[in-house]
Amino acid sequence: MKKIMMVMGAFLMVCCFTKAKAQVMGVKGGFSIADISSTGGNSRTSGHAGLFFNSLLTKSSRNWYIQPEILYSGEGERFQTPVGDRVIALSYINVPVMFQYYPARQVYVEAGPQLGMLVGAADKDPSSKINVMSDYNKFALSAGLGVGIQATDQIGFDARYNFGLTNIVANTNSLHYSNVLQVGVAVRIK
């Protein structure tokens, strides 16, 4: 619980930093396709959902915005076994801070860092579910790159790829990164 409060505090600090120039907040969500590098598994399809704030980076920057978010993200991977699918289901609370550039009025590109905190980890097969939190590091850092379209003043669509930068597996000499493609919709609340 203390770690969740730390992540929430970091998110609120970023939001307070942008409060002076805050324009919009909203909700977003969609589906995610995740994998863990160097394990030989297959992609796992899951989802993501959360809140965002979007504001001008500075008063004089008409095309540059900052968008801090707090998202739940289902990650991990799956393996094919003789008895059926085996799934490594990882649950993260992520705090991305995306810098967006609008080359055109309704189209943007974005990039930025993301801090993730592991809040759940399970190894599941058709007959069992095992808690494997101790097998994974509690925090993960990644870099996101994406594109988006602001279809209307309230509705937008985006696609983002998060490249894992830190090893997510604990107590190993091998490097395993969480990589996630997210495609979703964002609804602005003014």
E-state strands within the chain: 22-36, 44-56, 64-81, 84-104, 107-125, 128-131, 139-150, 155-164, 178-189
Element containing residue 3 per DSSP (H, E): helix 2-19
Each residue's pLDDT expressed in tens, for the chain with a length of 190 residues: 454 445 455 555 555 554 445 589 999 999 999 999 988 889 999 999 999 999 998 888 789 999 999 999 999 999 888 877 899 999 999 999 999 999 998 999 999 999 999 999 999 988 889 999 999 999 999 999 999 999 999 999 999 999 999 999 998 888 999 999 999 999 999 7
Per-residue 3-state assignment (H helix, E strand, C coil) for 56-99? ECCCCCCCEEEEEEEEEEEEEEEEEECCEEEEEEEEEEEEEEEE
Distance CA 2, CA 146 (A): 31
Output the pLDDT for position 141. Answer: 98
Asked if 37 and 176 count as a contact pair (C-beta separation under 8 A), the reply is yes
